Amino acid sequence: MIETWRWYGPDLDTISLSEVAQTGATGIVNALHEIPYGEVWTREAIAARRRIIEDTGFRWEVVESLPIHERIKRGDGDLSALFAAYRQSMVNLAAEGVQVICYNFMPVLDWTRTDLAAPVARGGTCLRFEAYRMAAFEIHMLGREGARDDYDPEVQTRATEWFSASTEAEREALLYAIMAGLPGAFDRYDINGLRTQLALYDGIGREGIRANYRRFLEEVIPTAEEVGLRLCVHPDDPPRDILGLPRVVSTAEDIDWILNAVDSPANGLTLCTGSLGANPANDLPAIAARFAERIHFAHLRNVRKDADGSFEEAAHLDGDTDMVAVLRVLLAEETRRKAQGRSDWSIPFRPDHGHELGPDIGRGAFPGYPLVGRLRGLAELRGVIRALS
């Protein structure tokens, strides 16, 4: 398996490529976060970023992400220019040697947490999703109609208690945490701005989102086939409806629908064991085995779940997901691909969402993306892979 590291670029990341080199990873996962959604990634901009990566001894293995404009997700108006821009960016990436594009189809928000620095038992911090605090945000801060229907009575009671006792600073911190999953420098919302964005999805529903997703795949997968790219969708995080918005990449059934909507090797999956693992109904080794042929990229992390729907990032080998079993499946798939004579038989993976440990704390890394915490995860995963191999 190809060891990769997510790096946010020279202007955004507090971790340098020279530090990443010391982790032993050989590939970089990167995106041009400075370019607004819907605009073309020019070949010149891609080449400039590729040179920075390669000059430090790495290969740019995966783009994460080439964002999909919200209008495409909503099916809003004439989308021909947005689809054309997306396809041109794909062509330009392929021309510069990038072959894998990770993307997501989550409406409005990317990954969602309520706490960016929850304490870990023996020191350090982790990302956490607390059900009652999310309920407090939706019911009391956002005032979303129908929000109470999404939460159990006990969670609603705790939400009301928290909101009644919270300070303005604590509410602002909660809003900041919920917005923190958005990559790049665009589309951070205040309460009114978020209400406005949510209103744009009124009446669309799950089947509407699926229809818009199918159209996206129909528009871009033929180009991916032509230029030798593999697209791989990232699962919803968390794998449940959020803010009343349908999430359509949360279960094995969802993944099956996506891969069959446009049945092509270029239409694949990013296996994120943390995102899918936050749903108690998801069996990660079984999902990995079922869709192994279409897994083009893997995010390997673990979560520890609570009965009320809360969860937090666990150490990579310590959560609810059997990471050894997942890695066994991925290694078997690599063996199968290699026997077929494929040049792209090795699956890139990255350690995802590490704990902030020791010198990570206070450094200002992107939430979930510290140096030491991810290095610990990479070392643990590397050891399992070596043992299984």
Residue 140: active-site member: no
| Residue 151 known to be catalytic | no
For residue 48, is it left (φ>0), alpha (ψ between -120 and 50) or beta? alpha
Are residues 315 and 261 located together in one domain of the fold?
Answer: yes
Spatial contact of 238 and 201, defined as CB atoms under 8 Å apart:
no
Where a domain ends, among 181, 197, 213? 197
Vertex 64 angle, CA 289 and 208, to 5° = 75
- In 16-131, DSSP assigns E strands to 27-30, 59-64, 100-103, 115-119, 125-129
Residues in the chain, total: 389
Pick the catalytic residue from 272, 296, 316, 360: 272
277, two tokens: 């693992």
**Is residue 78 located within the same domain as residue 137?**
no
Active-site choice (296, 353, 355, 360): 353
CATH assignment of the domain containing 80: 3.20.20.150
State yes or no: is 299 an active-site residue.
yes
How are strands ordered across the β-sheet holding 302-305? 115-119, 125-129, 311-314, 302-305
d(CA 187, CA 156) in angstroms, rounded, equals: 29
Identify the domain boundary among 131, 163, 197.
Answer: 197
With beta carbons less than 8 A apart as the criterion, state whether 366 and 20 touch: no
Catalytic residue among 234, 296, 316, 355: 234
Mean pLDDT of successive 10-residue stretches along the chain, which has 389 residues: 96 95 97 94 98 97 95 96 98 97 94 95 95 97 94 96 97 94 68 93 95 98 98 96 94 98 98 97 98 98 96 96 98 97 95 96 93 98 97
Tell me which of 162, 197, 232 is where a domain ends: 197
Domain span at residue 146? 115-197
CA atoms within 13 A on the CB side of 168: 0
Same domain? For 151 and 225 the reply is no
Mark whether 353 is an active-site residue.
yes
Active site residue 296: no
Same domain, 190 and 208: no
Q: Is there a single domain that holds both residue 58 and residue 187? A: no
- Verify whether residue 102 is a known catalytic residue: no
* Among 115, 236, 254, 352, the one annotated catalytic: 352
C-beta of residue 31 within 8 angstroms of C-beta of residue 53: no
Pair 384, 317: CB distance under 8 Å: yes
Residues 192 and 57 in one domain: no
Same domain, yes or no, for 192 and 216?
no
H or E element in which residue 287 lies: helix 284-290
Question: Going by C-beta distance under 8 Å and a sequence separation of 6 or more, which residues neighbour residue 90?
Answer: 66, 101, 220, 223, 224, 227, 229
Q: Are residues 130 and 265 in the same domain?
A: no
My answer on whether 208 and 350 are in the same domain is yes
Angstrom distance (rounded) from CA 10 to CA 33: 11
Question: Is the same domain home to 122 and 170?
Answer: yes
129 shares a domain with 192 = yes
Residue 161 confidence (pLDDT): 98
pTM for the complete prediction? 0.95
Instruction: Mark whether 208 and 193 lie in a shared domain.
Output: no
Out of 69, 299, 316, 355, pick the active-site residue. Answer: 299
**In contact, 196 and 158? CB cutoff 8 Å:** no
- Tokens, residue 95: 């021309």
What's the number of domains the chain is made of?
2
